[in-house]
Structure 1
């Protein structure tokens, strides 16, 4: 899942980003409204966590503009104004998909982000299977032939994308965009290293196949 956090409070933004990355999400940051709008026009985000009080361009205006797109991201608005009237205004007049008042509990934020991602067209099922691999996305568990396998957040996210592809190749660049964030150099060996560790944990060196010029796929 690709998430953009638009928040000008640096400590809060970094804290939220770190927490979401530990939940196997790819997270980018924007510190102003104009930057958030530009990034949403360039990247297909699943969810935008949008602070209403942003510099240059307010979160309200960003929300209004993004709602004009054919396929806008799901928008979770954050604000210090948590009154009923504020929530109604954000949901009905600005077009936000959800609304969370500050301060908030991080577990609730994660739950709301996941709920928003499930509203996207044809969301993947909570339990994914491929051969002897069984992935429970809700519990963050993976089992191979019934035996639980401990994966890091990145390994989990890569495996999820490969299972969703149903045995078809997933391009290297797509893995970078969907699992990592904008700061990862596409020439880095991070993807290959993650694939290598994943093969070892799945218990088979050919569990993930590298197709030259195509990307990576799970063994059929």
Structure 2
């Protein structure tokens, strides 16, 4: 299967140019023009590498890199930063954040292809990873298939509900703050987002109870939420 590259830049012309050269070189491409879309695609599509512009309209590329590196399911994904910032300090900061390479604009698209190949060789990107399964009670969460099941029954979850359940199930018994759930889940924030998280948790509780999943989401007053196994 061709390796898949996620190209992220708010300049659509750059995205088209880089994607065209990558596809001509035999890669498949995914595209995003903002950080929120990029994070969603990274979590749902699991690309082999991300080419990331630092200056995005909604989320700074550096912040997006921090979020990815803090997510255990995305942390190993190689990132090449593509940016107009040419100062050495910016380059050092980008690499310290966890970027695997750093290309400044203007650039030769053939160089981007060469760097992508080099980083994939160096990191082993594209080799199939074992399926990631999280389990508690009677609940089984398949992260690769993006599927929640209890026995032979599928629980239909929205992407946000799935993300929240993934976070809670990754550390049963740990109390997550709403802020942690936002940062590790949707990855974006706005006024009222914490109340929105409460609504998603309410819906998720209802679905888990209806499925007799053997787990429950508990409110930790003054903190947030945790997942507990029902004995």
TM range (shorter): 0.5 to 0.7
Contact 1:158 1:175 in 2 (8 A): yes
In structure 2, C-alpha distance between the alignment counterparts of 1:61 and 1:211, rounded to whole Å: 42
Q: Does 1:208 align with 2:208?
A: no
**Closer/same/farther in 2, CA of residues 164 and 149 from structure 1, 3 Å limit:** same
1:168 is displaced (CA, Å) by 1.8
* Matched position secondary structure for 2:33: helix
In the TM superposition, 1:18-167 aligns within 5 A as: 18=37, 20-21=39-40, 30-31=55-56, 36-37=61-62, 39=63, 43-46=66-69, 52=82, 54-55=83-84, 57-58=85-86, 64-67=92-95, 69=96, 72-73=98-99, 81=108, 83=110, 86-89=112-115, 126-167=132-173
Show the counterpart of 1:193.
199
Structure 2 residue ranges without an equivalent (≥5): 1-6, 14-30, 45-52, 70-76
RMSD: 4.5
In structure 1, C-alpha distance between the alignment counterparts of 2:32 and 2:172, rounded to whole Å: 35
Contact 1:210 1:217 in 2 (8 A): yes
Contact 1:171 1:214 in 2 (8 A): yes
CA distances 1:40-93 after superposition (whole Å, capped 9, x unpaired): 69x4433686563x33x15998555422x2x5256698x98553x54444666x
**Closer/same/farther in 2, CA of residues 59 and 134 from structure 1, 3 Å limit:** farther
Show the counterpart of 2:185.
179
Show the counterpart of 1:14.
33
Contact 1:44 1:73 in 2 (8 A): no
Contact 2:36 2:188 in 1 (8 A): no
Q: TM-score, normalised by structure 1?
A: 0.61
Q: TM-score, normalised by structure 2?
A: 0.58
* Matched position secondary structure for 1:142: strand
Structure 1 residue ranges without an equivalent (≥5): 100-111, 119-123
In structure 2, C-alpha distance between the alignment counterparts of 1:15 and 1:36, rounded to whole Å: 9
1:215 is displaced (CA, Å) by 1.6
